[in-house]
Structure 1
Amino acid sequence: MDYSETPVANQFRLGFLIHDVSRLRRTVIDKALKPLGITRSQWWVLSNLARNSSHEMVQTELANVLDIGKVALGGLLDRLEASGYIERKADPGDRRAKRVVMTRKGEEILEQMQEQGADLNRETLRDITEAEVRLAEDIMHRMKKRLIEMDADLRKNSG
């Protein structure tokens, strides 16, 4: 399809739909997690810690992975630590660095959140076939790859 000849409103429809689905998904997840006493942002921190076999990361590395600033991450970690889901420890290799370590309580809440998330995903995709999901995933992966390339080009050309 040649988007240069498409009416302007239709050119941006996919972008609006992606944004709306993402926003609505966040809203539903936040409401579903509320009884657990944890936010989607805190879940994101715990999920990324769980990607490492040791369930820990250096705080600056975690900020980079999450693509958030140190101050924003610090507030999230404060709340997670106060709830007993993580601990911050000195890094043995660099005394100035802090390691963020998921506790057993953090692993337990993450498991509950993952179960809740799986239920929400099943309900969200209820009327969508597996083939349609695969096609949508493929399209989104290609769009993401292209946007990463475009971002890199823009950074290179602006710097």
Structure 2
Amino acid sequence: MRFGSLIHDMSRLRRVCFDRELAPLGITRSQWWVLAFISRNDGLPQTRLANELDAGKVALGSLIDRLQTAGFVERIPDAKDRRVKRVFLTDKARQIIKDIAPVNDSFNAKILAGIPREDLELTARTLYRMKQNLIALTNGDEGDDGGDGLD
């Protein structure tokens, strides 16, 4: 089996196609990804945001610069440590996140078309287990939580 190649190819194709879907909204998938994450963690320090997204600080800084120029985020100095910049969504960002939701739903429906629900559930469980195994390897152990990823 060629799991690695299939996962890589599927991920790359999904990114390319989703960027195409988002183009009419004037936003990229990378920008949307950051906005969606911030929407669940509004006000995180920029350095922690880079760590959470597993993105380089310089690359994320450039992306946030573009988001700030476009009016999607604000950087506000931390009240206790002015060297720390916290990143907050603007109302414009909250609106585009709402606008993207139906695009995302439609896109996912297209790529999942013709796949039985049972197959999707098995695939989700398998990918979740693979993710847990990779996390365990990253942490230097071989155990997992035994969950199925569907909670």
Does residue 33 of structure 1 match 2:29? no
1:80 to 44, 57, 67: 67
How far the C-alpha of 1:50 sits from its partner, in A, is 1.0
* CA displacement at 1:142 relative to structure 2: 0.3
Please, which of 8, 23, 29 is the counterpart of residue 12 of structure 2? Answer: 23
Q: CA deviation at 1:56?
A: 2.3
- Of 37, 43, 49, the residue aligned with 2:38 is 49
Q: Matched residues in 2 for 1:93 and 1:126: separation?
A: 50
Deviations for 1:80-132, whole angstroms, at most 9, x for unmatched residues? 01110001011112211001000000001111122211110011111112221
Residue 145 of structure 2 aligns with which residue?
A: none
* TM-score, length basis structure 2: 0.89
With 56-65 and 100-109 compared, the bigger mean Cα shift is at 56-65
- Taking structure 1 as the reference length, the TM-score comes to 0.84
Superposed CA RMSD? 1.3
Q: CA offset at residue 152 of structure 1?
A: 2.3
Query: Which has the higher Rg, Structure 1 or Structure 2?
Result: 1
Deviation at 1:151, TM superposition (A): 2.2
SS at match of 1:78: helix
The number of residues matched between the two structures is 141
Which structure carries more strand by proportion?
Answer: 1
The residue aligned with 1:130 is: 117
| SS class of match (2:140) | helix
- Structure 1 ranges of 4+ moved more than 6 A: none
Give unmatched runs, 5+ long, in structure 1. Answer: 1-9, 155-159
Structure 2 unmatched ranges of 5 or more: 142-151
1:124 alignment partner AA: I
* Equivalent residue runs for 1:94-133 within 5 Å: 94-133=81-120
Amino acid at match of 2:5: F
